[in-house]
Amino acid sequence: MAEETPPPRVRPGIRSAPRIRQVYWCDFAEDAQLPEFWKRRPVLILSKNSTLYGKVTVLPFTTKSQPDNPSAYPIVSPLDGQRAWVICDYLTTVAVSRLHMPGRAVPRVEQADFNRIVALALQGLPQPDY
């Protein structure tokens, strides 16, 4: 079996570690397979303690209407003010180097919306049986 070449380590294009509730642009993998996300799109940062050269857990946004998706949270995008949905059953961890600044300042999702988004994301996970 041939030795595999590891992927490259890419220097981040942002200047500080992403923070919880912030919204960035994320370059998802170009070699994705449907139904995976595959292009640059907004993401919501879920990680509490991310680092600039590490990884971050995110939820992607979409502008495609989601009337039949109970895991989609409707929201006004903090990037452009358009109607969007956070896809709460698509928890994804990406390298911080995939993130890009949305402008001069990084917007945040309101705390009340964030709480509802996290609750919806947790509904898709198994509950602990203590």
d(CA 3, CA 129): 42
> Model confidence at 37, in pLDDT bands (50, 70, 90)?
confident
Domain contains 18: no
Range of the domain at 69: 23-123
Taking alpha carbons only, the member of 8, 94, 14, 19 closest to residue 59 is 94
Quick one: average pLDDT of 13-35?
Answer: 90
* Number of domains observed in the structure of the chain: 1
**Mean pLDDT score of the chain, rounded to an integer?**
92
Domain contains 89: yes
Global model pTM greater than 0.75: yes
pLDDT score recorded for residue 31: 80
For residue 9, give both structure tokens. Answer: 């380590």
d(CA 95, CA 123): 25
Q: 89-120: per-residue pLDDT in tens?
A: 999 999 999 999 998 999 999 999 999 999 99
Judged by DSSP in three states, 100 sits in: strand
In degrees, rounded to 5, the angle at the alpha carbon of residue 12 between the alpha carbons of residues 6 and 16 is: 140
More confident residue, 70 or 38: 70
pLDDT score recorded for residue 17: 96
Given a cut of 80, is residue 33 above it in pLDDT?
no
pLDDT score recorded for residue 127: 86
At 64, which CATH number?
2.30.30.110
Domain contains 104: yes
Q: Which residues contact 25 (CB under 8 A, 6 or more apart)?
A: 40, 41, 42, 43, 79, 99, 100, 101, 102
Quick one: average pLDDT of 42-51?
Answer: 95
Q: Please count the other Cβ atoms lying within 10 Å of the Cβ belonging to residue 46.
A: 20
